[in-house]
Amino acid sequence: MKVTIKSWTGVATWRWIANDDNCGICRMPFDASCPDCKIPGDDCPLVWGQCSHCFHIHCIMKWLHSQQTRHLCPMCRQEWKFKE
Amino acid sequence: MSDKSTMAAMSPSKRRLQKELTSLIREPPPGVHVDEDLTSQNLTQWIVHMEGAKGTLYEGEQFQLQFRFSSKYPFDSPEVTFIGGNIPIHPHIYSNGHICLSILTEDWSPALSVQSICLSIVSMLSSCKEKKRPPDNSFYVKTCSKNPKKTKWWYHDDNV
């Protein structure tokens, strides 16, 4: 029997590889967006700190902006530094 | 309320509060239960019932905590006070219900939650060795603001 493929449709899934399922700040799943965004993925990315904790970038930026003096990781209270 | 379309229409702070409420109702820590009716009516003000842990000075006692959340929650800490007829007699709890606990002001983090605050307060009560009011209670209660977050707390004792 000879089969001729006339057309095919590719399907892909994606997910963030993070050490947790939910953002510790907004409690939304990492694979969903932060509460200020509608579309997850590159428009609402994750960022990691040198302490290895990770958050939606919009969530951690909101927290750092609200802090006048010390910039600490919400999870471990070490000084927050973005991982390169 | 937990219907997805309703959640999407909520502000970010209310969405987080709704998630916390659902999980606190589903899996309450020992001795803690949230007043579901009052809290579901107004997500920005919660009443939480707390009982003194077994084997501690507060065993058998019932307390009530009030939580008030601003629209900046969880970036801004909630205002947490004991209310009602039984304010725990404790060296860090004033007779007007204000609590001297650093995570409620300068050590607040948006990763904390109603549940973690309740656990901190239960453990603060449980480690108490002598029931007494803070030494400056009468002066503080006469002169403080209604909002405990306006007090410039001086955290000096981590042992109780």
What stretch of H or E contains A59? helix A57-66
- The interface predicted TM-score of the complex, written ipTM, equals 0.83
| Alpha-carbon dihedral angle through residues B64, B70, B74, B75, given to the nearest 10 degrees | -130
- Distance from C-alpha of B91 to C-alpha of B129, rounded to nearest angstrom: 10
pLDDT per residue as tens digits for the range A23-39:
999 999 999 999 999 99
Instruction: Give me the pLDDT at residue B40, please.
Output: 81
CA distance A64 to chain B (A): 9
In 3D, which of A81, A65, A37 has the Cα closest to residue B76?
Answer: A65
CB contact under 8 A, A26 and B16: yes
Q: What is the pLDDT of residue A68?
A: 85
**Minimal Cβ distance to A24: which of B12, B75, B111:** B111
Contact A49, A80 (CB under 8 A): yes
pLDDT score recorded for residue B117: 97
Distance between CA atoms of residues B61 and B53, nearest Å: 9
Identify the residue among B71, B109, B114 best suited for mutation to test binding to A, counting A beta carbons within 10 A and taking the highest: B109
Tokens in use for A78?
């070490």
Q: Which residues of chain B have a CB within 8 Å of the CB of A28? A: 15
Q: Which of B12, B72, B110 sits opposite A35 (nearest CB)?
A: B12
Look at residue B4 in the predicted model and tell me its pLDDT. 57
A36 contacts: CB under 8 Å, gap ≥ 6: A58, B12
The whole-angstrom distance between residue A76's C-alpha and the CA centroid of its chain comes to 18
Superfamily for the A18-83 domain: Zinc/RING finger domain, C3HC4 (zinc finger) (3.30.40.10)
pLDDT of amino acid B158 = 63
User: CB contacts < 8 Å between A and B, how many?
Assistant: 34
- Are A24 and B110 inside 8 Å of each other by CB? yes
- pLDDT, one tens digit per residue, over A49-82 is 999 999 999 999 999 999 988 899 999 999 999 9
Residue A21's alpha-carbon distances to B24, B29, B132, B153, in angstroms, are 19, 22, 43, 36
pTM score of the predicted model: 0.88
How close A38 gets to chain B, by Cα (Å)? Answer: 9
Please list the pLDDT of chain B residue by residue as tens digits (160 residues): 445 567 777 899 999 999 999 999 999 999 999 999 888 889 999 999 999 999 999 999 999 999 999 999 999 999 999 999 999 999 999 999 999 999 999 999 999 999 999 999 999 999 999 999 999 999 999 999 889 988 888 776 666 5
Could you state, in order of their start, the residue ranges of all structural domains in chain A?
18-83
> Cβ contacts (< 8 Å) between B70 and chain A: which residues?
none
Q: Are A60 and A44 in contact (CB under 8 A)?
A: no
The confidence score (pLDDT) of residue B153 equals 80
* Residue in A19, A22, A27 to test binding to B, most B beta-carbons within 10 Å: A27
A29 reaches B (C-beta below 8 A):
no
Q: What domains are there in chain B, each with its CATH number?
A: 10-141 (3.10.110.10)
Determine the distance in angstroms separating the CA of A2 from the nearest CA of chain B, rounded to an integer.
Answer: 49
CA distance A61 to A64: 5
Q: Is the Cβ pair B15, A26 closer than 8 Å? A: yes
Which residues of B carry out catalysis?
100
